[in-house]
Structure 1
Amino acid sequence: AHLALISVAIMPLIVAVSYYFFGRVSKAYKAYQEQEAKLSTVLQENLSGVRVVRAFARQEYEIDKFERENLERFRRGRHLTMMHSLYWPVSDILCALQQIMALAVGANMALRGEITVGTYIAATGLVMWIIWPVRNLGRLIVQISTGLVSYQRVVDILREPREDTESGTVPPDTKIKGAVTFEHVSFAYEPQNVLGGDEPREGDTAGRSSTPEPGEASPVAVLHDVSFHCEPGQVVALLGSTGSGKTSIINLLLRFYDYQEGRILLDDRELTEYPRALLRRSIGIVEQEPFLFSRSIRENIAYGVDRDVSQEEIENAARAAAIHDIILTFPNGYDTIVGEKGVTLSGGQRQRVAIARALLKDPAILVLDDATSSVDTETEEQIQLALQRLMKGRTTFVIAHRIQTVMSADLILVLDKGRIVQSGTHEELIQQEGLYRTIYGIQSRIEEEMQAEIGEVWPSSGHPSTAAQGKIHGELTSHTEDAVAGDKGS
């Protein structure tokens, strides 16, 4: 019994040391992974934004930044390696001490005649068989600690709630006409979902109306008592400053989020009765900065269509979007790869590919998010013609800062801090005292002044450049914000 106790005396210490290193290695490995992710982000940003880096002559700064992050990654990796390197000799020394103790005590007992030589040999053999599995178990525990860190990162992703896109009482093959009604709708985002303005993170869960727990931040209200109605085929313009709630209205219509108060009706049925998949198949979006995949032009135009699409259909959509002739000038035509985010195409070309994509989808409801704000006048004219074809016969929501782009809308909603402060046609609103007329006067004056300046700089050209057009848009947007602030203060 005495020899047996001596043979396992240090084993609890070996287990304790393994447990201690388990915690230390886990922390070190987590810190290393976080730094590696940070370094990857820096590298990805530099590669994606290489033109911006070159344009601002920030190559040396970005190189220094990368080297700093890489050095920190090296330091954390070295610390992790040291944790591993320190554990192996410590565990080996403890195992060796255990063996020496068992051999020494057993030999002493055998010499004194307390045990036989055979018992001594058997006991030392058992110690050898026990100590090395315990030692390897300790190493396994330390290795598991690194795996658990990676496992936890995967679990965090898997635990994110999946969006239910199929549930709803409306049959999935229902043909949506496009009559939209908002009745006293209010909505608030969760605080962690708000990144600025009224733009939440894509993929975040819906807002809530419940009272926050003690210590929690209150939900951020972005829409208050919003009511309006539009018939199928009508054009509704959403006009307002950044953060006024324009995008939130579209997010609710697409059921990226569910409203807490009021009702939203689509073709006289509650919006929540429609499966999300049906809604999103029936709504087309042309964004201010359209996203194109690093695939062929053909694949980008056909994206989102749940059926086989013929080449003729793709070309017809491209013709309607005024991009077909341009595509034919490319070496590979419709098989041309556009690069990451469509980097090989100009802004106007990307916009028209996005319009062709929406045309091919043939949606009942169309959303135009300031679709001509970043292109030159000549391109804007071509895009406007394409948009007119796209809008024909569809309920259309136009998000805009410039009144000139929404004057022909059937209904203009002027939003301020999540409330509709004015609504009506351009002719009706221009006759009323209020924010719309203030913005219209300021924008008309600014545009006349900017066009006069451009006429002096480009006297031989009827169209300003994209940069000049962007300057006009920036000035108009800036003065729109000022007009909103001034109207509140008056």
Structure 2
Amino acid sequence: MHSTNMKQKKFSLFPYLWKYKWYYLAGIVILLAVDAANLYIPQFIGEVIDGLTEGILDREGVLFLLVKIFTAGAVMMLGRFGWRFCIFGSARGIEYRLRNDMFGHLEMLSARYFNAHKTGDLMARFTNDLGAIRMAVGPAVVTAFDAIVMTVMVLMKMIWDVDFKLTVMAFVPLTLVAVGCYFYGIEAKKRQTRRQEAFSGLSDKVQESIAGIRVVKAFVQEEEDFRAFEKASENSMEKNLSMVKLRAMFGPALDTVTGISLLLTLVFGGKMVLAGQISIGQFVAFNSYIGMLVWPMIACGDCINNFSQAAAAFQRIASIFREEPDIVDKVPEDCVNRDVHIRGDIVLNHLTFTYPDGEDPVLRDVSLHVKEGEMLGILGRTGSGKSSLADLLLRVYDCEDGALLVDGRPITEFPLAVLHRDMAYVPQDNFLFSDTLEENIAFGLEERLRDHPQIRSSIKRAAKAACIHDNIMGFPEEYRTLVGERGVTLSGGQKQRSSIARALLMDASVLILDDSLSAVDTDTEEQILENLMELRRGKTTIIIAHRISTLQKADHIAVLTEGELTEYGTHEELVELKGFYAHIYEKQQLEQELTAM
């Protein structure tokens, strides 16, 4: 189903180009004026030479022709600024809008897409690939149009002002360029695709190594990591060199053809001057026109190179836009009712869930009921499905087998915006942005509210409830302290408590803590739990943990074993049951006693 939708959905650059149609039109008109002005300069120079040679041009006539040449030069100077402003500016605008749309579309995609695509590869599409598109809709468009127009106008000028036979003789060798350009374009596109893929791999390696530098150093893997980087760098260099080699062969071939054309012009044009068929001024102008034809021939190769790069980049960018989110609102956007609020009554009815790319269920026939205002604890070994349950409650994934009801309604009936607004979540991997602690804690609030004095006092209350306030006040900049990328300057416990403060500040109807106290000492954990009991009174809280001390104050505790609900009850009931929960409880009690001794 998903792959079919991908094939049906198409992406086009046309709407972006159409938005700047008048700028492109203005730029092309100005470009025509520049080309026309450029075309008359050789003619004026030829007239000066002939006039002086034949003695028919006086001082005033020379000055008049010089004024014409300077006027043409002024038109070219102003015109080049004009078409650059219109066309290059439009290309930048298209790049800007396309980048924004790409980022907005990525934010809509579901977890499945990001599980399958590396960060470095996506970053390469935002940099290298978008740059290739900009070059194609800007400089390459100018170059292609200018080359065609210049070629046609120069040929017409050569035929009308000089000689038809000489023009044909000089131009025939240049037609070989068109054949070469065709084959060059085919091969260039293949090599550009491989080059951009290699760049993506290199970007991903750099991003991954920098993000994991602490792990690399901790395991003394600097040399191994460097060799892996060197291999990715070498692959990128080889793919770049393959493109350079192709261009290196194409450039001299163009020069050779151009040289043949100039040689023919000198030989046969010189004979025509001696025979009196054309004047010296016409011969000089003709050679200038040949020089003007050289640039379009060279530009032809550059155009094909730019369009080949853009074609490869377009496919990679289009693949992002062809992706559709798996998790969407079941009602149209204009019919979404954001005024509805979740109370927090949650029912799982014979729920079975398998990840989209998995084969075996991670949850099997799970049924339980969390009443509004209750605290549910979830315990289980690693891989028992605890975090998968949190993913389903947040609609990171949808489950088709069984029922998941919120306030008596299927969870899919709630708009995603409402669901994420009324369900606060603290994940296992506590992610902090490279910003101040204050901004990280206030992340769930609208930006316009963050500087409000009342919100700042609420931030401090949430930080106190999460037992991070005293730590923050010990930092030099207090709440204005920058935490570095992914919160690298904080300890694991500080990151966890900052994430808890962020969730508490939202004051959501449902709070999900996914093993969020694992890096906190027992005394701090007890204080945080007491604060939660006080702050979350009347609101639903779900705590996933491995420590019994985190769960024993919950109203009910669910024990998951390999995706199945094997035990359910209060702390006292589960201890009396003498099952897995009681075994873990006794083991952890013994560990605490040994630690105390």
Partner of 2:421: 281
Question: Structure 2 residue aligned with 1:320, among 454, 465, 487?
Answer: 465
Instruction: Look up the SS of the partner of 1:303 in the other structure.
Output: helix
- Which residue number in structure 2 is paired with residue 84 of structure 1? 247
Quick one: percent identity of the two aligned structures? 37
Displacement, 1:98? 6.1
Specify the alignment match of 2:60 in structure 1.
none
The one-character-per-residue Cα deviations of 1:166-217 (angstroms, maximum 9, x if unpaired) are 84967312232101112233333322xx6xxxxxxxxxxxxxxxxxxxxxxx
Which of 398, 405, 422 is equivalent to 1:258? Answer: 398
Q: Is the 8 A contact 1:355 1:390 kept in 2?
A: no
Match of 1:14 in 2: 177
Task: Specify whether residues 10 and 357 from structure 1 end up closer, same or farther in structure 2 by C-alpha distance, changes over 3 A only.
Answer: same
Aligned pairs for 1:466-481 within 5 A: none
Residue 310 of structure 2 corresponds to 147
More moved, 380-389 vs 226-235: 380-389
Deviation, 1:253, is 1.8
Letter paired with 2:461? N
Which residue among 555, 560, 574 is the counterpart of 1:415? 560
Which is richer in helix? 2
2:254, 2:297 within 8 Å by CA — same for their partners in 1?
Answer: no
Distance 1:239 1:107 in 2: 95
CA deviations on 1:136-167 (whole Å, 9 max, x unpaired) are 32431122112333333332223332565684
- From the CA coordinates, give the structure whose radius of gyration is larger: 2
Report the CA distance between 1:24 and its aligned residue: 2.8
Task: Measure the CA separation in 2 of the matches of 1:227 and 1:276.
Answer: 23
AA partner of residue 447 (structure 1): Q
Counterpart for residue 580 of structure 2? 439
C-alpha distance 170-154 of structure 1, shift in aligned 2 (>3 A): closer
* TM-score of the two chains, using structure 2 as the length reference: 0.61
* Equivalent of residue 433 in structure 2, options 286, 289, 293: 293
Q: Helix, strand or coil: the match of 2:444?
A: coil
Task: Report the CA distance between 1:370 and its aligned residue.
Answer: 0.9
Residue 487 of structure 2 is aligned to residue 346 of structure 1? no
**TM-aligned CA deviation for residue 446 of structure 1:** 4.0
Larger CA deviation: 334-343 vs 223-232: 223-232
Cα deviation for residue 13 of structure 1 reads: 4.6
Counterpart in 1 of 2:320? 157
What is aligned with 1:29?
192
Cα 1:392–1:247, aligned 2, differ >3 Å: closer, same or farther?
Answer: same
What is the match of residue 396 of structure 1? 541
C-alpha contact (below 8 Å) 2:250/2:301 kept by paired residues: no
| Residue identity opposite 2:394 in structure 1 | L
Q: Distance in 2 between matches of 1:351 and 1:333?
A: 17
Shift of 1:6: 7.5
**Which amino acid letter does the alignment assign opposite residue 470 of structure 2?**
D
Retained in 1: the 8 A contact 2:465–2:528?
no
1:117-138 superposed Cα distances (whole Å, 9 cap, x missing partner): 57x9999999887776355324
- Paired residues for 1:55-454 under 5 Å: 55-97=218-260, 133-161=296-324, 164=328, 167=333, 171-191=337-357, 221-306=361-446, 307-308=449-450, 309=452, 310=454, 311-432=456-577, 437-444=578-585, 446-447=587-588, 450-451=591-592, 454=595
Change (3 A) 1:368 1:104: same
Secondary structure of the residue aligned to 1:32 is: helix
Cα RMSD for the two superposed structures: 3.7
Alpha-carbon distance in structure 2 between the residues aligned to 1:423 and 1:323: 33
Do the aligned partners of residues 130 and 240 (structure 1) sit closer, same or farther apart at CA in structure 2, a change above 3 Å counting?
same
CA distance in 2, matches of 1:321, 1:12: 76
SS of residue paired to 1:366: strand
- Match of 1:479? none
Q: Is the 8 A contact 2:575 2:585 kept in 1?
A: no
Measured in 2, the distance between the counterparts of 1:105 and 1:227 equals 94
Task: After TM superposition, give the deviation of residue 56 of structure 1 in Å.
Answer: 2.7
- The verdict on how the C-alpha distance between 1:168 and 1:54 changes in structure 2, with shifts beyond 3 A counting, is same
Q: Give the SS at the match of 1:367.
A: strand
The answer to whether the 8 Å contact 1:320/1:389 transfers is no
Number of residue pairs aligned between Structure 1 and Structure 2 = 422
CA distance 1:184–1:441, change in 2 (3 Å): closer
Higher mean C-alpha displacement, 438-447 vs 13-22:
438-447
TM-aligned CA deviation for residue 39 of structure 1? 2.9
Measured after TM superposition, the shift of residue 411 of structure 1 is 3.0
Q: What secondary structure is seen at the aligned counterpart in 2 of 1:237?
A: strand
Determine the C-alpha separation between the residues in 2 that align with 1:75 and 1:153: 21
Specify the alignment match of 1:473 in structure 2. Answer: none
Change (3 A) 1:293 1:439: same
CA distance in 2, matches of 1:257, 1:170: 20
